[in-house]
Homo-oligomer: A and B are copies of this chain.
Amino acid sequence: MNIQQIKYFLILAQELHFWKTAERTHITQSALSRQIQALERELGVQLFERDKRNVKLTSAGQFLKEKWEVQINELEFFHEHARQIQLGESGTIIIAHPDSISASLMPDMLSSIASAYPKLNIELVQVRYEDQQEFLRNYKVDLVITRDINKTDDISSEQIATDYLSIVVPDSHPFQSVEDLTKETLDSQKFILPIKDEGSSYSDLIQQLFRAYNVVPNAYLHSEFGSAIISLVKKGLGIAVLPTSYMWHETPGIRFIALPYQTDLFLNWRVNDHHPVLNNVLKLILKR
C-alpha cells in the first residue's frame, strides 16, 4: 500500500470524478483508475461505488477518508520534523509567541539564540490559544510561549518571565495613575478587550481585575490582536487592558498605567523531543 495511492484516494474522494482527479494529480485517468483498484484490492475494501456515470464513496470509504486525511496530514509534519532534526543547526525551529512580548522578551531571547546558533533558522508564528497544544503535539511548532501553564503528560511548561497588566489610554485621557481608577471612573469607560478564551488564565486575570473594582466593563469591541487594540485606543475608540510588555513597542500617542496584576509567561515544549538543537535552545532559554 502506497502513501501516494492514499493521496490519490483523498483527492478522488473530494472530486468524485476520475478525470478531474487525474488532471489534479498529473497522471492519466487510466493510471488513476488502476491505482484505486489496486488500493481497494490490497485493503479488501471497496472504497467507491461507481457506474459508468457516477462516483460515490462507500461507508467504508467515507470512514477511511476521514481517518486517512488526519493521518496523512500528521505524517507530513513528522517527516518535515525529521528533516529538521537532520539539518540540525542549519535547520529551522518554529516558535509561537504572543504579540505582547514582540518588543520585550523576544528580541533578547532571539538574539541569544541567534548568536549561539548563527546558521539556525527561526520562524516566528502566532497560534490561537485553543490550537497551541495541538500544534505543539503534532510538530507544527516547536516552542510555544504562553501566558498559561500547559503541563500535560507530553508537554512541559516552565515559567520564564513575569509581566503585569496595564490600563492603556490615549495621551489625551484623564487617567494618569492607578489612583484615578475607581468603580465610578471605570464604569463610564468604553473598553476594548481581548476575545475571551474560556479557561485561559490570562482571561481569568482580566475578569479578576474588573471584579476587584466591582465593575462590569462596557466592552463593545473585542480583538485577539494587541496591536489592533493599541491602534484603536490611540484613535480614541476606547481604553484597554493589556500586558505591560506592549509598552516596549513604544507606540506614540498612548499611555500605560501599570497595575499590580501579575501575568506570568511560560515556555512550553514537547517532553522527550529528539531535536538536538531544540534541546540545546531550550537549555539556553531556561538557563538565563
- Rounded to whole angstroms, the CA-CA distance of A68 and B76 in the bound complex is 11
- Rounded to whole angstroms, the CA-CA distance of A86 and B46 in the bound complex is 8
Q: Please state if B45 and A274 are interface contacts (CB–CB under 8 Å).
A: no
Q: Which of A55-63, A104-112, A209-217, A229-237 contacts B (4 or more CB under 8 A)?
A: A55-63
Q: Please state if B3 and A83 are interface contacts (CB–CB under 8 Å).
A: no
Interface-central residue, A60, A66, A78, A85, by most chain B CB under 10 Å = A60
Counting CB contacts under 8 A, is A283 at the interface? no
Counting CB contacts under 8 A, is A34 at the interface? no
Counting CB contacts under 8 A, is A75 at the interface? yes
Counting CB contacts under 8 A, is A44 at the interface? yes
| Residues of B contacting A86 in the complex (Cβ-Cβ under 8 angstroms) | 44-46, 58-60
Q: Please state if A75 and B85 are interface contacts (CB–CB under 8 Å).
A: no
What 1/0 mask marks residues of chain A from 1 to 16 whose CB sits below 8 Å from any chain B CB?
Answer: 1111000000000000
| Residues of B contacting A85 in the complex (Cβ-Cβ under 8 angstroms) | 59-60, 63
Q: Please state if B75 and A71 are interface contacts (CB–CB under 8 Å).
A: yes
With A82-B43, A82-B45 already in contact, the answer to whether A62 and B274 are too (CB < 8 A) is yes
Counting CB contacts under 8 A, is A74 at the interface? yes
With A43-B79, A83-B43 already in contact, the answer to whether A59 and B276 are too (CB < 8 A) is yes
Interface of A toward B, CB cutoff 8 Å = 1-4, 43-46, 58-64, 66-68, 71, 74-75, 78-79, 81-83, 85-86, 274-276
